[in-house]
Amino acid sequence: MNPEEALSLVRPCILALDPYSTARDECGDNQPEVFLDANESPYENGINRYPDPRQKVLKEKVAALKGISADRLFLGNGSDEAIDLLYRVFCNPGEDNAVSIAPSYGMYGVAAAMNDIAFRPVPLRADFSLDEAALLAACDAKTKLLFLCSPNNPSGNVFPQEQIERLLESFPGILVVDEAYIDFASTPSLLPLLDRYPRLVILQTLSKAWGMAGLRIGLAMAAPAVIALFSRVKYPYNINILAQRMALTRLDPAVLDHHVAEVTAQRIRLQKSLSASPFVREIYPSEANFLLVRVDDADGLYRRLLDAGVIVRNRTRVKGCEGCLRISVGTPSENDRLLEVMGVPVHRGAADVALLGDRHAVVRRTTRETAILVDLDLERSGVCEIATGLPFLDHMLEQIPHHGGVSLRVSAQGDLQVDEHHTMEDVGIALGEAVAAALGDKRGIGRYGFALPMDDCDALVLLDFGGRIDFRWQVRFDREQVGGIPTEMFSHFFQSVCTGAKCNLHVEARGDNAHHKAEAIFKAFARALRMAVARSPFPYDLPSSKGVL
């Protein structure tokens, strides 16, 4: 592979370009102390200086998050800038052309038109799968760019990596894969392919899963030779100083994961609920944060939603999307509002359960008093994000991922101005439901768990997932409160867990210090859970009165 292979495709005027250079570009790492080079105002107000044209700090952070070196990364004023630059770098106006799947993102065609480049949309099949032969048939010697979008907007599907690799082998131009929605997809990004294919350009963005559409920051990732061309052609200060600063403070992968889990759970809920809507004919499977839905009267329903204050994207006039609305996934209450207009009864008080993968469940419970989200992954450890509004309960719940070897996120908004009762009860139920959902049919698990960690307190927790529900609690607290929580609430909490998980749960504890006693119970619970959910801990099946689990 020749890493500079793409250079033969570049417009001659771009190869010959002598790019604009700032005085600060020229001084390299030797940073001056007095800036009299750029005719800026000398009065410091946070924005009086030009931004870093190379976005060094932000680029390094984003590159590290993506697991690539910074010389493979271009940051643009939205992905839209990267799309425009692709045309300006590779396509001679009035001469070259670009091929794209259709339906897909509108900017590929708009940017082509602005640059006087012939644009050739090639229809996907009726089920939105990729027609490789048709794509290649549309290409000729003047085709410089081929656009794919995966997951595709508006259809929501991902194209198989084998197909994309075959196109990389057979198409001699630049293959652009737009991964704007990749964070929501169950398949990984194609970034690892960059090492092998010097004509591959991958686009991503901070506008969708990262929640920063207002900042306008898009990513193009490619071979260093291609990135160097982008950097020469872009406007010097394309990412403003506030966007660079703000993005740095918001690039927290834990927040990304949390939001992706919530949105995915909501997408699954919408998918299920919308199929009960009298207006819906078809819902296309989605790996993104939206659903493409075919309805009876798209224009009519679009208007009805708008009259009710809900705007969706009407795609009925897009070829291949006749009768379709594209609906972005919102917050649970926004989705409820959508469903109500769509004629779907919304059950409040019920839990929404979504399975995000093997033994990974997300439960959302919304009642009049509380809104709880529990995200439990029995197969993966390392994530612990607990925010219930009750700091002592947070501290206790943190013992579960720490000592249970699981990943746990809990967020709760409850009526704490009344008291902690509803919040503790509903967190307990949702946690139990998440355990039950993650365990699924429970095949091959240890089933039993017991533990007795000894600090200055003993706690004994027995768990059995055999199917019977039985709760026993032999714990006495000498104090009425610990950590601001009435001690009686702990038995109520674990009873709620037991109800939600439909298990046997027996708890005993001894010791003097109420804080330590509560903590020992949560630790013991975590250890017992770890044993009970472990897969095939013994080389034989455990018999049960109901057969083998």
Ligand X SMILES: *Cc1c(COP(=O)(O)O)cnc(C)c1O
Q: Which stretches of the chain bind ligand X, using CB under 6 A?
A: 78-80, 105, 149, 153, 178, 180, 205, 207-208, 213, 218
Q: How far is the CB of 327 from ligand X (least distance, A)?
A: 14
Among 252, 130, 261, 69, CA closest to 183:
261
Q: How far apart are CA 398 and CA 354, in angstroms?
A: 22
Query: Angle 488-501/421-439 helices, nearest 10 degrees?
Result: 30
Segment (H or E) for 384: strand 384-387
Q: Which is nearer to ligand X, 242 or 308 (CB)?
A: 242
Q: How far is the CB of 99 from ligand X (least distance, A)?
A: 16
Q: How far is the CB of 76 from ligand X (least distance, A)?
A: 8
Are 54 and 60 a contacting pair, CB within 8 Å? no
Would you state the structure tokens that stand for residue 48, as one six-digit string? 């009086």
Instruction: Give the burial string for 239-255 (b: 16+ CB within 10 Å, else e).
Output: beeebbbbbeeebeeee
Q: How far is the CB of 218 from ligand X (least distance, A)?
A: 4
Q: How far is the CB of 328 from ligand X (least distance, A)?
A: 10
Q: Which is nearer to ligand X, 20 or 235 (CB)?
A: 235
Q: What angle do CA 395, 496, 344 make, to 5 degrees?
A: 105
Q: How far is the CB of 153 from ligand X (least distance, A)?
A: 4
Phi, psi of 462 (to 5 degrees): -110, 130
- CB hemisphere CA count around 249 (13 angstroms): 6
Q: Which is nearer to ligand X, 105 or 465 (CB)?
A: 105
Among 328, 331, 344, CA closest to 371:
331
Pairing of β 174-178 and β 143-149: parallel
Q: How far is the CB of 105 from ligand X (least distance, A)?
A: 3
Among 234, 222, 190, CA closest to 4:
222
Q: Which is nearer to ligand X, 210 or 493 (CB)?
A: 210
Alpha carbon dihedral 205, 211, 214, 217, in 10-degree steps, equals -20
Q: How far is the CB of 252 from ligand X (least distance, A)?
A: 19
Q: Which is nearer to ligand X, 154 or 432 (CB)?
A: 154
Q: Which is nearer to ligand X, 291 or 412 (CB)?
A: 291
Residue where the block lists tokens 């769509």: 342
Q: Which is nearer to ligand X, 178 or 425 (CB)?
A: 178
Q: Which is nearer to ligand X, 190 or 505 (CB)?
A: 190
Among 463, 474, 477, CA closest to 533:
463
Q: How far is the CB of 109 from ligand X (least distance, A)?
A: 12
Q: Which residue is nearest to ligand X (CB)?
A: 78
Q: Which is nearer to ligand X, 105 or 159 (CB)?
A: 105
